[in-house]
Chain A
Amino acid sequence: MRSEYILKLLEKNERLDGRKLDEFRKITIEKNPIKRAEGSARVKIGKTDMIVGIKMEFGEPYPDTPNSGVLMTDAEFIPLAHPEFQTGKPGEDPTEAARVIDRGIRESETIDVEKLCIEKGKKVWTVYVDVYPLNHDGNLIDAGSLGAIVALKCTKIPSVDKDGNVDRENLKGSLPIVHTPITITIGKVMDKMIVDPIFEEEEVLDCRLCVATTEEGKVVSMQKIGVGVLTDDDVDEMIDIAIEKGKELRKLVEDGKKTVKQKTKTNKSRKS
């Protein structure tokens, strides 16, 4: 019955919390909350609470890129974040989320991995991006991606000591970050497009499209999630929304502002 109520509201272009269809919840960003990590961020979008930690370790390069550093992204949907999360090996949802977040960073070539070589062909820096939701109220992918780019931007590289070990007491410099990819998830339900769905809204969506864009306005990755179908017009519209919303969220990352209450365009959604 709750879903029926949500759908009834959407028919009138309204949402449970009074937001417009293209409006984000309040976003709070905390930089470097975890001192142990080489970089970290805590992002809250409404009640969704994500923490992202960056660790740098030695690793072997991929054989086809012998002088480049390596990026590895992982997401753990720990049971503390939602009554339906279970302990045990990550299932398909966190695995997919991690790969989508990874794609945005990797495809945009956000990390200048050429600069992460320690010994050509043998030893490079591996950048581990680990995403943990602390409270799941929808839109984990956008929150995780936002947390990831913020964390990467404040990541410091450890130095290598005379014995060739990682020395975290002496940090050498910032991780070379050359782009700011932002992933925006757009949900489709009936004929409506909504942005930043809460948990209950996600349950009524036909499907979602996650689109990562860069500051240059390029689209670097897409992922459709869910069983519903999209027309090509739908996709056009969703890409446009992703670019526009990407700009808003990117401002948060670049201005270093901590919180923003989103201002919205009014053309797309009208209260009846």
Chain B
Amino acid sequence: MMKTDEKMIVNGKRLDGRKPDEMREIKMEVGVIPNADGSAKVSFGKTTAIAAVYGPRKLFPRHKQKSDTGIIQYNYDMATFSVDERKRPGPGRRETEISKVSRLALEPVLFLKDFPKTTVDVFIEIIEADGSTRVTAINAASLALADAGVPMRDLIVGLSGGMVNGVPIIDLCGKEDNYCDADVPIAFLPNKNEITLLQMDGRLTPEETKSIVRNVLHAGKEVYKKQVEALKKKYSE
């Protein structure tokens, strides 16, 4: 978390003119990668994630196979040109951690007992990064999994909450991510109100923390509506 003298909220408006509880423009499209079993492209403002799902399919090497269930493998990657300074290609420690927590966010949602010895591979490519990339990716993954016909308990909504200059906000953009008091990415099941991904960077009181989590769950309902719309749109004439 970096420090800045710049005010992040002026006259109740954030750097990009948003109100504290306002999300950026959300775009969702399902079925963007013909080769994949399921795919989706999701943008929150200038953060764009593409997800492709392959599977359930054969899992190699053999020793990874589980005899009574399928597994999910999650691969989060950022394009070199997705950020300001060109990023070296290939996964670093940050990508490895994000891949892990995201995988664990999706695992409990999929019914994989019917697919022993297989894997459901989720590949994420961030092509533009402006804050909240991991939760944007989760929305894309949710749509791609549903598009692939993997049986799921629920869709998964990803959304970040946080605090800047003492004000709780929703959907952090890049600059806010860097200079906030706290950044709280969350993934949850919208119909069950179950949280499957929760992380936090920052310094808050317990009450502030709890209230940010509640705000995100509340605002996430809009994100859920967009997911449903995007899925149904693919099949309407």
Contacts and interface: CB of A to CB of B under 8 A. Distances in A.
B125 interface: yes
A57 interface: yes
A74 B81 contact: no
A74 B50 contact: no
Contacts of A90: 89
Contacts, number: 92
Contacts of A76: 79-80, 89
B125 A130 contact: no
Interface residues of A, number: 32
Contacts of B90: 89
A47 interface: yes
A78 B77 contact: yes
Given A53-B80, A87-B75, A135-B35, A128 B57 contact: no
Interface stretch (A30-38, A219-227, A248-256): A30-38
A153 interface: no
Given A57-B86, A80-B52, A134-B50, A36 B81 contact: yes
A94 B24 CA distance: 36
B208 interface: no
A164 interface: no
Interface string B57-101: 100000000000000000101011111111001110000000000
A74 B80 contact: yes
Interface residues on B, range: 20 to 34
The residue among B34, B77, B121 with the most chain A CB atoms within 10 A of its own CB is B34
Interface in A76-121: 76, 78-83, 87, 89-90
Interface string A31-52: 0001111001000000101010
A132 interface: yes
Nearest to A78: B125
A35 B46 contact: yes
A54 interface: yes
A53 B79 contact: yes
Given A79-B123, A89-B90, 4 more contacts: A83-B36, A83-B54, A132-B125, A134-B32
A75 to B, nearest CB: 9
B177 interface: no
A128 B89 CA distance: 12
Interface of A: 34-37, 40, 47, 49, 51, 53-55, 57, 74, 76, 78-83, 87, 89-90, 128, 130, 132, 134-137, 166, 168
The residue among B35, B57, B125 with the most chain A CB atoms within 10 A of its own CB is B35
Given A83-B54, A130-B79, A132-B125, A168 B35 contact: no
Interface of B: 32-36, 39, 46, 50-52, 54, 57, 75, 77, 79-86, 89-91, 121, 123-125, 127-130
A87 B52 CA distance: 13
Contacts of A87: 75, 91
B35 A137 contact: yes
Contact of B81 (A37, A80, A81, A83): A37
Nearest to A49: B33
Contacts of B35: 47, 81-83, 135-137
A55 B81 contact: yes
A136 B86 CA distance: 24
Given A47-B34, A74-B89, A83-B57, A130 B75 contact: no
A130 B33 contact: no
